[in-house]
Amino acid sequence: MKILLTNDDGIYAEGLYALYKKLSKNFDVTVCAPEVEQSAIGHAITMRRPLRVQKANGNAKLSGYAVNGTPADCVKIAVRTLLKKKPDLVISGINHGPNLGADVLYSGTVSAAAEGAILGIPSIAVSLATYQNHDFRGASEIMLKLAKLVQKTGLPNGMLLNVNVPAVPMSKIRGILATKQGRSLYQENFVKRTDPRGRMYYWLTGKVKWLKKPKDSDIKAIEEKYVSVTPLQFDLTAYDFMPKLKEILGK
């Protein structure tokens, strides 16, 4: 199986390398990742400037390409131009930090997998649900298992799996659950500062607030030390609201 591996933390990120090491023992893995960190870049693509591609050379521990673009750019250019054959699976990660609830809208990690799904390739986004420890071994182990499962079963066209792994040793992980996207909201705060030239600037900070944590949600699974696997699709139409909207528009 040919795997295209990408991320949004950049080609030098530990999570990417840990997963590369694990997967490349079993599969034919090519990396195409942003040359610098692209967290919270969402599904941005680069159209107003050209892209540059650096091939990982003899000194690199990875086989692949670094791109001066976004995670979605990396998947597009790899599939359309750099790879000789379309990959069988796109994996994005391992992200350092959770991608739960509304995070999936902002996440470069998820967007790279979304790009794979849009291009008709089974795709998985994977995140380690902590900003603290850097132990990607459990998450790499889980991903090897899930890659093998998806190799066997495939995925419906246009769908991806959003995987979050709790930050506990492998022996403490209680299992793998199918979950739904929880409902969260960032309570943003903009810290106002003055630069050395006396001009004002703002830093975005904020805390996540969970509106609901239903039993079968991604956040609940992580809190209870399960791996969370959420199937995501990209038809955003609010079908339930359609009759009411027709009424409002006078149809």
Tell the smallest beta-carbon distance from residue 174 to a copy of itself (Å).
12
Question: Least CB distance from residue 16 to a copy of itself, whole Å?
Answer: 18
Q: How many chain residues bind a copy of itself (CB under 8 A)?
A: 72
Neighbours of 202 (CB within 10 A): 10
In the bound state with a copy of itself, the residue whose beta carbon lies nearer, of 57 and 237, is: 237
Count of CB atoms situated within 10 Å of the CB of 216: 13
How far from the centroid of its chain's Cα atoms is residue 168's Cα?
A: 20
Candidates 83, 173, 177, 208; binder of a copy of itself (CB under 8 A) is: 177
Q: In whole angstroms, how close is the CB of 249 to a copy of itself at the nearest point?
A: 5
Q: Between the CA of residue 89 and those of 34, 93, 125, 151, 221, what are the distances in Å? A: 18, 13, 11, 8, 25
Q: What minimum distance in Å lies between the beta carbon of 56 and a copy of itself?
A: 16
How far, in Å, CA of 145 to CA of 141, rounded? 7
Which of 83, 106, 141, 213 contacts a copy of itself by CB under 8 A?
A: 106
Question: Minimum Å distance from CB 218 to a copy of itself?
Answer: 9
Rounded Cα gap, residues 221 and 129, in angstroms: 11
What is the smallest separation between the CB atom of 1 and a copy of itself, expressed in angstroms? 17
Pick the closest to residue 161 from 200, 120, 94, 114 (CA basis): 114
Residues in region 56-85 near a copy of itself by CB under 8 A: 72-73, 76-77, 80-81
Residue numbers 219-238 binding a copy of itself by CB under 8 A? 229-238
Q: Report the b/e string of 37-49 with b at 16+ CB within 10 A.
A: bbbebbbebeeee
What SS3 class is residue 215?
Answer: coil
Q: Which of residues 123-162 bind a copy of itself (CB under 8 A)?
A: 149, 153, 156, 158-159, 161
DSSP-assigned states of every residue in 85-151:
S--SEEEEEEEES---TTHHHH-HHHHHHHHHHHTT--EEEEEES-SS----HHHHHHHHHHHHHHH
> Given the complex with a copy of itself, which of 25 and 175 has the nearer CB atom?
175
Residues numbered 29 to 58 that lie near a copy of itself (CB under 8 A) are 37, 39-48, 50-53
Nearer to a copy of itself, 20 or 226 (CB): 226
We find the least distance from the C-beta atom of residue 241 to a copy of itself, in angstroms, to be 5
- Region label for 111, one of left (φ > 0), alpha (ψ between -120 and 50) or beta (otherwise): alpha
**Contacting residue, 198, 200, 207, 215, with a copy of itself by CB under 8 A:** 200
- Write down the residue that tokens 């680069």 correspond to: 46
Of 7 and 181, CB closest to a copy of itself: 181
DSSP-derived secondary structure letter, 196? T
Which one among 119, 144, 168, 173 touches a copy of itself, defined by CB under 8 A?
Answer: 119
